[in-house]
Copies of this chain bind each other. A is one copy, B any other.
Amino acid sequence: MSEPLILVTNDDGVTSHGIAALREAAKDLGRVVVIAPETEKSAVGHAITLSNPIRIQELSKEDGVTGFAVGGTPADCVKLAVRALLDRTPDLILSGINHGANVGMSVMYSGTVSAATEGVILGIPSIAISLDSWTSDDFNFAGKIAKQFAVKVLENGLDEGVALNINVPSVPEDEVKGIMLTRQGQSFYEETFDRRTDPRKRTYYWMDGFLVQPDKDQDVDDVALAGNYVSVTPLHFNLTHNESLTNLASWKVFNNGNI
């Protein structure tokens, strides 16, 4: 195999400490190109930019790493990288290291995960990696985990249509219990909306919320993470609920309902 081409992206923006840690983790594994949003794009989900032009800015080379800051979302970055900016299809996409866990229903809102999703849609093995802290800048252990799994994925690939969603506990390395293969859980934020009045007396709302964690099984993403395990979940993007296909057939409105 020739030198692997590794695309590094994120949703916290190209200047974040997390992406620097990920670039560092990847740099001995192949040619690394960073193509990431110029500013923070958290909670953008799988948004793409169709109605506006997308601008790019070349980054100065650091440690031999080249790249671009993109005026768009994480999914835009991956599309633009693969379709327009890179000279060939990357062998691996690494997205992160995100500030804050992406487990349970948060996966649906995550720009970090959506970059990996986009990689999978384009047929590229992809890993999203997040640190379970909104404030800690210690990405050292998470970087080691990213490197370990990058090596594994470059060696073994992943099942077609599957991305890895990795979440790392934010505790001293010697308190980490191990690495757990997990399922996506049901945890979610129960939102509250703080109703306020601006200086011009107009009403506005801030979204806030608190985490609800209904899961109990050890091998569910947020439970593993809370137990100081690194959580590794294989995700795919065929959303069909097969059981409902059977249940809905009884509605008798479908031409194929009695097949």
Contacts and interface: CB of A to CB of B under 8 A. Distances in A.
Nearest to A117: B108
Interface string A232-247: 1111111111111101
Interface residues of A, number: 81
A85 B203 CA distance: 13
A141 interface: no
A205 B155 CA distance: 35
B205 A56 contact: yes
A83 B83 CA distance: 41
A181 B249 contact: yes
B50 A47 contact: no
A178 B192 CA distance: 43
Contacts of A191: 79, 83
A83 B192 contact: yes
Residue of A84, A109, A152, A178 most packed against chain B (CB within 10 A): A109
Interface in A155-189: 156, 158-159, 161-162, 177-181, 183-184, 188
B181 A83 contact: no
Which 7 interchain pairs have the tightest Cβ spacing?
A: A45-B46, A234-B244, A178-B255, A45-B45, A53-B204, A236-B241, A84-B193
16 contacts: A40-B51, A43-B47, A44-B47, A45-B46, A45-B48, A47-B47, A54-B205, A54-B206, A55-B203, A55-B205, A56-B205, A105-B121, A108-B117, A158-B244, A161-B241, A234-B248
